[in-house]
Amino acid sequence: MLSQLLPLAALAATASAHGLISSPTPRRPGDASVAACGRSVVNDITRDQTSHVEGLPELAAADAGYRADACNLWLCRGLQFGDNAANVQTYAPGQSVNVRVTLTIPHVGAANVSIVDTRSDTLVGPAPLLVWPSGYADERQFYARQTPANQTNFNVTIPQDLGGKCAVPGECVIQWWWYGTGARQTYESCIDFIVA
C-alpha cells in the first residue's frame, strides 16, 4: 500500500489524513452535499477526503446551509447520492466484491463493513458483512509495516436476501466504518450500489 511506503516526513505532511475506501469509487462531495450539509462541512471533507466525522456536527450547526433533515453526518459523513449517481455499482446476490481501503494514519480500534439503508440509517441484511471487534489499524503494526493485508484489501459477499431492498440507486450503500478508540475518531466511507 502506497501510504506504508511513504517516509514519515511525508506522513507528517498529511497529518490530518486517516482512511478512505479507494476501490470501488467511494461517495464524494459535490453540489448536492453542499445543499444538504452546508459548505463548511463539504469544504472540510474536500480538504481531506480521509478525515473523521467528529468536528463536522459543530461546523454544520454554525452553517446556515446545513439542513438537519437532509444531512446525516454519521452516515457516509453526510455525502449525498445526488453527487454520485454516476458511480453506482451493480451486484448480484451472493457476489463477492473486492474492497480496497487506504489507511494513512492509524488509530487502533473497531471497524466494520455493512449494507446500510440510507433513508433509515439501519443495517440491511442478516448481519454486518465484516466486523473487526478490535485491533483494526493498530499503530504498532502500521509503523512496522505489518498491518494485516486483509484490513485494507478484503472481499465482502452480497447476501442472498436483502428483503427486497437495494434495487433502486441511492437506497443502499456499503459503508466502511472505523472508530479509533484512543483518538475517539470515526471514519466512514461508502459505496453506492444496487442488487440486480
Ligand X SMILES: *[C@@H]1O[C@H](CO)[C@@H](O)[C@H](O)[C@H]1NC(C)=O
Q: Which residues bind ligand X (CB under 6 A)?
A: 96, 98, 110, 112, 114, 131, 133, 148, 150, 153-155, 175, 177
Helix (H) or strand (E) holding 4: helix 2-5
- The one of Cu ion, ligand X, none whose footprint includes residue 11, by CB under 5 to 8 A per kind, is none
For ligand X, the closer CB: 35 or 183: 183
HSE, side-chain direction, 13 A CA sphere, residue 58: 4
Whole-number minimum distance, CB 151 to ligand X, in Å? 7
Q: Is 183 in the site for Cu ion (CB under 5 A)?
A: yes
- The one of ligand X, Cu ion, none whose footprint includes residue 183, by CB under 5 to 8 A per kind, is Cu ion
Give the chain's largest Cα–Cα span: 49
Cβ contact 108:156 at 8 Å: no
| Ramachandran area for residue 37 (φ above 0: left; ψ -120 to 50: alpha; else beta) | alpha
- For 100-149, give the secondary structure using H, E and C: EEEECCCCCEEEEEEEEECCCCEECCCCCCEEEEEEECCHHHHHCCCCCH
Find where cell 466504518 sits: 177
Contact letters (x/-) for Cu ion, 90-129, by CB under 5 A? ----------------------------------------
- The one of Cu ion, ligand X, none whose footprint includes residue 126, by CB under 5 to 8 A per kind, is none
Whole-number minimum distance, CB 34 to ligand X, in Å? 24
**How far is Cα 61 from Cα 68, in angstroms, rounded to an integer?**
9
Whole-number minimum distance, CB 114 to ligand X, in Å? 5
For ligand X, the closer CB: 22 or 40: 22
Which region, judged by CB under 5 A, interacts with Cu ion, from 27-35, 56-64, 95-103, 184-192?
A: 184-192
Q: Who's near 134: CB < 8 A, 6+ residues apart?
A: 108, 109, 110
For ligand X, the closer CB: 43 or 155: 155
Whole-number minimum distance, CB 123 to ligand X, in Å? 7
Binding site for Cu ion (CB under 5 A): 183, 185
